[in-house]
Amino acid sequence: MTNIPETGRTPRVQIRLVVIQILVLSLLGTLGGRLWYLQIREGAQYQKEASGNHVQQVVDPAVRGDILDARGVPLADNETRLVVSASRTDLLKQPHDGKAVLTKLAGVLGMKPEEVMQKVRLCDAKTPQPCWNGSPYQPIPITDKATPRQALQIREASEDYPGISAEPEAVRSYPGPGSSNTAQVLGYLSPVTDAEIQQAKNSESPYLRSDMVGRSGLEREYDKELRGKAGVTRYEVDNLGRVIGKAKATPPESGSNLVTSIDSRVQRVAEYELDKAMKAARQQFDKNTGENFKADSGAVIVMEAKTGRIVAMASAPTYDPNVWVGGISAKDYKALTGKDSDYPLLNRAIQGQAAPGSTFKVVSTAAAVQAGYAWDGGYPCTSSYSVGGQVFKNFEGENFGPISLGRALEVSCDTVFYGLGDNEWKKDGGINPKKGQPKDWFFRTAHQFGLGKETGVDLPNEVTGRVPDRQWKLDYWKANKDVWCKYGKKDGSYVQKIYYENCLEGNKMREGDEINYSIGQGDTLVTPIQEAMIYGAVANGGTEYVPTIGKAVISPDGRTVQEIKPKVARKLPVSQATLNGMNDAFAGVITRGTAAWKFNGWPQNKIQLHGKTGTAEVYGKQTTGWLATYSKDYSVIMTISQAGTGSGAAGEAVRNIYSALYGVQGDGSVDTRKALLPEPQKTLPKVRPDGTIAAPKVTGDPGKDAEASQQNNPSNGTDQQPATSPSPTTGNRNTRRRPRRIPKRGRRRMPA
């Protein structure tokens, strides 16, 4: 085969050819080496880059679970809306990024073209809202309020609207059965933030870009259960983002349904009555401030006494939860959260706190018994109580002579509790007690009643209230003494004097502090939910339950029902005998005491009610009224800020709530057919085989129905009752008066 060369190549050429050969082959060797480096050594890295290149995921959101009331009536569910959305990848393929199509679409939807354009642009550091902060591969919703006509227009001429779709989609809605609202309890949703995605990245339930997250109320507390699991389809895409194949798909899993203990009808009645009571209060003249009551906020709770389950919880001012649906507008958001708003997002039943006033005497009475005072001892109910030159007056200066603790509770005799508190203060060592000497029965009992900390209700951001004990006084003094000592003046204004005194001995438990505390004034703060828990415990024989709203979590197929059982929080530190005494006293409040004028004609022999009124004083504001009540099965607490006394502001409303619960008619008769809930709902709503939950229809307005049944009520109607004015009448002695002289206490709301 080899040709023997005869001519042609000299050694020079031969050598050069060999050089060429070596050069050429070494070049190829270089290529091989580089290929090895890229594919074998760095291969994994490039594989990662390649998969990042070509896989995009599209999220199929899970249907969020419903929130149902105790009978299965949906309080929050999903409704089908026609959502018009735009696919960015399709728009980008069109000239000017689909400007023409979007403009035409804006015309159909009756929107401004700029508005539509803004909605489909991607959010970045420089782009303000509105913009899309989800995945660019996700269809971007332009409106979820398209009419069927608009949707049809788009779908029938789909070739004119490339990249635009009009599909029915499930969006959250709050149907508000029977005109109920339940806004703050339900809470709301908003899109997940980048920070949350990062945070939950490696957790068990990571967020997807498109997720809506519960921000408050039950939506937040039970977010994990309600949310379900979004389906994800991973698509392989080409260099232009066009889909070239489906890589992996997981179908969405619907969220579980939450059955609550709320009864939408009672809820409506509570809301209706709260609103009505506040409006009525605003018609009343407050002679202390010389203007009508402001009645700026309020809350009402109806709780099952024997389980802690909440049947109704309303907070005012309120708002329509549906403003959140489909994204809240900047204007609406400002109206809900801005400085000029009245903060309707706050759930004042768990986030509002005020001094409990005389409703606190349930704690003081228990404390006195614990400290060793006999129930039936004769405690002097004088018209005033003097300490070191200060006069603490009894309300309206009544004088009942020596009375028992029960009687003191019933008539709300402040001076009895002043005396007990003062006595304990002295026993505890006075202003400078020895270490370990103070027994602090009054403060200890408050803690034993669960005050000063969250009740643990299944709602987020509950506040603790406050027991102004020695530790708190010290902490508070440490935090504020610099300001107090700087601005305090012995002979200055009221505030300056207070500062001066606080600077000197604000770290110590002063005599006046404990005296004020004994009747629930001063720095004491409680929340309505704490009151509901405490009075519920008195009703049920001394057991405090953790208040709960969630009753059961039912899987979407209805197969697994996870019940949320009542949980005992603690036992009250009171004996059965003391409880019996308290019960009698509280019943007396209804029949002949401070609340009696609002319960004329109540069928007490059939449905026994107990109650305690209270009026909290807040420096610089009108008084906050409290009405804490309970029956055999329920405790009902209502409080209205800046509305006068507890009975005056809330008496009628609370009575109407009980009337609705038990079917009590205006003439005092009981019509069980009209009773909304004569006994707490024990069973869970029925789950049908297909997983849906049966629910009765709620028609009409239970609030107005209940009102109508009270036509003949002798206590109702401001025109019949001159006593609704906060000026005390013989029956309205629910409160004490501050000593006319300078009180020796720092106040929470003191301007700094």
Based on the shown chain and the rule CB under 8 A, indicate whether residue 21 belongs to the binding site for other proteins. yes
> 30, 199, 437, 562: which one contacts other proteins (CB under 8 A)?
30
| 53 counts as binding other proteins under rule CB under 8 A | yes
734: which residues sit within 8 A by CB, 6+ positions away? 357, 358, 395, 412, 594, 595, 613, 614, 615, 645, 646, 647
List b or e across 56-84, with b for residues whose CB sees 16 or more CB atoms inside 10 angstroms.
Answer: bbbbebbbbbbbbbbbbbbbbbbeebbbb
Dihedral over Cα of 160, 162, 168, 173: its sign: negative
User: Which distant-in-sequence residues (6+ apart) come within 8 Å of 287 by Cβ?
Assistant: 726, 727
User: Given the complex with other proteins, which of 49 and 557 has the nearer CB atom?
Assistant: 49
238 is a site residue for other proteins (CB under 8 A) = yes
Question: By CB under 8 A, is residue 291 in contact with other proteins?
Answer: no
Report the nearest approach of other proteins to the CB of residue 2 (Å): 6
Asked if residue 49 binds other proteins (CB under 8 A), the reply is yes
If one asks whether residue 20 binds other proteins (CB under 8 A), the answer comes out as yes
Helix (H) or strand (E) holding 247: strand 243-250
Rounded distance between C-alpha atoms, residue 226 and residue 645, angstroms? 41
The CB-of-25 to other proteins minimum distance in angstroms stands at 6
- Comparing CB distances to other proteins, the nearer of 8 and 722 is 8
The only residue of 203, 239, 432, 683 in contact with other proteins, by rule CB under 8 A: 239
**Closest CB to other proteins among residues 243, 371:** 243
Q: Under a CB-based contact definition with an 8 Å cutoff, are residues 478 and 389 in contact?
A: no
* Min CB(57)–other proteins separation in Å: 15
- Contact window for other proteins (CB under 8 A) among 22-30, 62-70, 121-129, 386-394: 22-30
Looking at the Cβ atoms of 11 and 128, the one nearer to other proteins is 11
Residue 246 beta carbon to other proteins: minimum distance, rounded to whole angstroms: 13
Per DSSP bridges, beta strands 67-68 and 257-260 are parallel
Binding residue (CB under 8 A) for other proteins from 63, 140, 208, 237 = 237
Which residue in 159, 165, 154, 158 sits closest to 87, CA to CA? 165
Per-residue tokens: 594 = 């401070």
Cα angle 71, 628, 222; round to 5 = 40
Question: Is position 124 an interface residue for other proteins (rule: CB under 8 A)?
Answer: no
User: Which amino acid is it at 642?
Assistant: Q
Residue 38 interacting with other proteins (CB under 8 A): yes
Q: Taking CB under 8 A as the rule, does residue 92 contact other proteins?
A: no
Rounded Cα distance, 8 and 17, in Å: 12
Q: How many residues bind other proteins (CB under 8 A)?
A: 51
Residue from 644, 666, 645 nearest 655 by CA: 666
Considering only residues 698 to 727 of the shown chain, the ones binding other proteins according to CB under 8 A are: none
Of the pair 5, 95, the CB lying nearest other proteins is at 5
742 lies in the site for other proteins, by CB under 8 A: no
Q: Is 232 helix (H, G, I), strand (E, B) or coil?
A: strand
Q: Which is nearer to other proteins, 51 or 199 (CB)?
A: 51
Q: Compute CA distances 143 → 10, 86, 453, 528, 627, whole Å.
A: 85, 10, 44, 40, 46
H/E stretch holding 702 reads: helix 702-708
Q: Judged by CB, which is closer to other proteins: 242, or 489?
A: 242
Contact between 3 and other proteins by CB under 8 A: the answer reads yes
Nearer to other proteins, 56 or 709 (CB): 56
Nearer to other proteins, 69 or 90 (CB): 90
* Contact in structure between 145 and 81 (CB atoms under 8 Å): yes
| H/E stretch holding 588 | helix 576-591
- The answer to whether residues 366 and 333 touch, using CB atoms and an 8 Å cutoff, is no
245 is an interface residue for other proteins by CB under 8 A: yes
Binding of residue 688 to other proteins (CB under 8 A): no
Contact 186, 264 (CB under 8 A): no
- Least Cα distance to 520 among 648, 426, 617 occurs for 617
**Residue closer to other proteins, measured from CB, 54 or 674:** 54
Q: Is position 2 an interface residue for other proteins (rule: CB under 8 A)?
A: yes
Q: How far is the CB of 109 from other proteins (least distance, A)?
A: 33
Count helices and strands in the chain by DSSP H and E runs: 24, 25
Contacts of residue 12, defined as CB under 8 A and 6 or more positions apart, other chains included, come to none
Applying CB under 8 A, the span of 17-25, 149-157, 213-221, 502-510 interacting with other proteins comes to: 17-25
3-state secondary structure of 443: helix
The minimum distance between CB 97 and other proteins, in angstroms, equals 17
Nearer to other proteins, 29 or 148 (CB): 29
Choose which of 6, 204, 491, 690 interacts with other proteins (CB under 8 A): 6
Q: Which stretch binds other proteins (CB under 8 A): 44-52, 223-231, 385-393, 680-688?
A: 44-52
Q: Is 122 in the site for other proteins (CB under 8 A)?
A: no
Based on the shown chain and the rule CB under 8 A, indicate whether residue 97 belongs to the binding site for other proteins. no
Q: What is the per-residue binding string for other proteins in 189-228, x denoting contact by CB under 8 A?
A: ----------------------------------------
Compare residues 12 and 490 and give the one whose CB is closer to other proteins: 12
Between CA 78 and CA 224 the distance in angstroms is 17
Binding site for other proteins (CB under 8 A): 1-10, 12-14, 16-21, 23-25, 27-28, 30-32, 34-36, 38-40, 42-47, 49-51, 53-54, 236-240, 244-245
